[in-house]
């Protein structure tokens, strides 16, 4: 075994010298690194620690909370409040902004503490997603409006995946790097430097049980994939659905493909299924930094102007040429007089 390994701390220190100087990023990400290790530990202990099953409560989205949703949320809030780097946080599991009294930092943390909750009880991959914003100069306090910045304003974003290995994947706007947790020494090690999404792919991920609610451009794209070598694409496609966005994005970063949770007839009233601030924006930042593309169907996700903290949005992301094709199908549909659902 080689000991010539780069740890996450060493990587952040090196980045500090190269780009940022002040050390702010190093401490912002140090809090999150510890948080993810603790959540990983709880996910791993599973039934032994009584961590499976429902909590018996509902979150602000009207969803049943699992025990691990609640626990992961508490770990995030507690561990990232200590250092005072974050003036306030917003979580998928909390109705309102959580202000950190006495914080000195001017950063905001947004997170989905446990993504893919329906996988917890069946021992399939889950994850955590986070996004970091800066409080604009001249702004005092941390009302909800300060959080309502488009995704292009993110200063860092990342996710942890608790899968066959625990990994932390992050961007500070200079590419995407992946670190694997060495469980024996409790350290994240750089294993996936400069992750890049192939521009072409022949693998898609979408919940096909919702096919009858899809918009025509989405149906057109999937129909063409399914037609394989006999269809207009002239090649066979493969399909995956893990039901955890973290795992889908991770697969796409490793070998390309497309992930879609589009606006459809069933979810159009609420704007889609996935949450803009906790899921779509951080993942779109990562995907773009790795050379991929992320759209709502018609627009670039990172340019969507948020109007509410818990806003939902259509998500189509992954290999550039496939996502561009899907965007074009939406454009052609609208040009022919088709009406967008949302
Ligand atoms: P969460 O567990 O944070 O609520 O997110 C689950 C999301 C996303 O990660 C996943 O892609 C999708 O919901 C799964 O949806 P289906 O239930 O339609 O499979
Ligand atoms: Mn989620
Ligand atoms: Mn969640």
89: domain CATH number is 3.30.540.10
The domain boundary residue, chosen from 192, 219, 234? 192
Taking the CA of residue 115 as reference, the ligand 1 atom at the shortest distance is 3
CATH code assigned at 229: 3.40.190.80
In a domain, 313, yes or no: yes
Residue-wise pLDDT tens for the chain (342 aa)?
A: 567 899 999 999 988 888 766 777 888 899 999 999 999 999 999 999 999 999 999 998 888 999 999 999 999 999 999 889 999 999 999 999 999 999 989 999 999 999 999 999 999 999 999 999 999 999 988 899 999 999 999 999 999 999 999 999 999 999 999 999 999 999 999 999 999 999 999 999 999 999 999 999 999 999 999 999 999 999 999 999 999 999 999 999 999 999 999 999 999 999 999 999 999 999 999 999 999 999 999 999 999 999 999 999 999 999 999 999 999 999 999 999 999 998
From the CB of 116, is ligand 1 less than 6 Å away? yes
Which two tokens mark 287? 């995907």
Quick check: CB of 124 below 6 Å from ligand 1? no
Q: State whether 42 and 185 are in the same domain.
A: yes
Same domain, 211 and 177: no
Domain-located, residue 135: yes
Q: What is the pLDDT of residue 254?
A: 98
Whether 21 is covered by a domain: the verdict is: yes
Q: Which of 92, 243, 247 to mutate to test ligand 1, by most ligand atoms within 8 A of the CB atom?
A: 243
Cβ-defined contacts of 30-34 (< 8 Å, 24+): 30/83, 31/79, 31/80, 31/82, 31/83, 31/85, 31/86, 32/80, 32/109, 32/130, 32/158, 33/8, 33/168, 33/188, 34/79
Same domain? For 185 and 283 the reply is no
For residue 20, what pLDDT is reported?
Answer: 61
Asked if residue 289 and residue 213 are part of one domain, the reply reads yes
Q: Are residues 184 and 214 in the same domain?
A: no
pTM of the complete model beyond 0.75: yes
What is the per-residue pLDDT for 2? 66
Element (H, E) at 70: helix 67-81
Tell which residue, 197, 324, 313, has the closest CA to residue 255.
Answer: 197
State whether 165 and 130 are in the same domain: yes
Residues 78 and 152 in one domain: yes
For the chain, the farthest-separated pair of C-alpha atoms sits apart, in whole angstroms, at 64
186-210 tens-digit pLDDT: 999 999 999 999 999 999 999 999 9
Q: Please check whether residues 254 and 320 belong to one and the same domain.
A: yes
Enclosing domain of residue 239: 203-335
| 128 and 72 Cβ atoms separated by less than 8 Å | yes
Hey, whose CA ends up nearest to atom 6 of ligand 1? Answer: 116
CB of 243 shorter than 6 A to ligand 1: yes
d(CA 227, CA 238): 11
Torsion 20-172-281-115 (CA) sign = negative
Counting the structural domains of the chain, the total is 2
Tell the residue number behind the tokens 């779109």, with chain if given.
284
């Amino acid at each position: 075994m080689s000991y010539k390994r780069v740890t996450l701390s060493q990587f952040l220190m090196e980045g500090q010298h190269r780009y940022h100087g002040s050390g702010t990023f190093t401490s912002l990400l140090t809090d999150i690194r510890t948080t993810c290790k603790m959540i990983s530990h709880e996910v791993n202990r599973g039934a032994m620690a009584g961590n499976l099953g429902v909590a018996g409560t509902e979150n602000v989205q009207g969803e049943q909370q699992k025990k691990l949703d609640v626990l992961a949320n508490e770990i995030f809030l507690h561990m990232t409040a200590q250092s005072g780097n974050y003036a306030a946080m917003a979580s998928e599991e909390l109705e309102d902004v959580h202000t950190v009294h006495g914080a000195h930092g001017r950063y905001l943390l947004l997170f989905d503490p446990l993504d893919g909750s329906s996988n917890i009880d069946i021992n399939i991959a889950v994850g955590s997603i986070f996004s970091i914003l800066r409080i604009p100069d001249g702004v005092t306090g941390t009302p909800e409006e300060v959080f309502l910045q488009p995704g292009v304003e993110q200063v860092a974003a990342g996710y942890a995946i608790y899968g066959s290995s625990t990994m932390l994947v992050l961007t500070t706007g200079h590419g995407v790097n992946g670190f694997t947790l060495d469980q024996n020494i409790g350290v994240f090690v750089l294993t996936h430097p400069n992750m890049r999404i192939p521009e072409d792919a022949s693998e898609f991920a979408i919940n096909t049980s919702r096919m009858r609610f899809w918009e025509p451009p989405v149906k057109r794209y999937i129909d063409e994939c399914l037609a394989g070598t006999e269809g207009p694409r002239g090649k066979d496609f493969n399909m995956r659905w893990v039901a955890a966005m973290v795992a889908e994005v991770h697969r796409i970063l490793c070998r390309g493909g497309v992930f879609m949770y589009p606006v459809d007839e069933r979810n159009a009233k609420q704007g889609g299924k996935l949450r803009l601030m906790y899921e779509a924006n951080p993942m779109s930042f990562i995907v773009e930094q790795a050379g991929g593309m992320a759209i709502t169907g018609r627009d670039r996700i990172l340019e969507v102007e948020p109007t509410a903290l818990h806003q939902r949005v259509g998500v189509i992301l992954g290999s550039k040429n496939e996502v561009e094709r899907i965007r074009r199908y939406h454009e052609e549909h609208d040009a022919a007089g088709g009406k967008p659902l949302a």
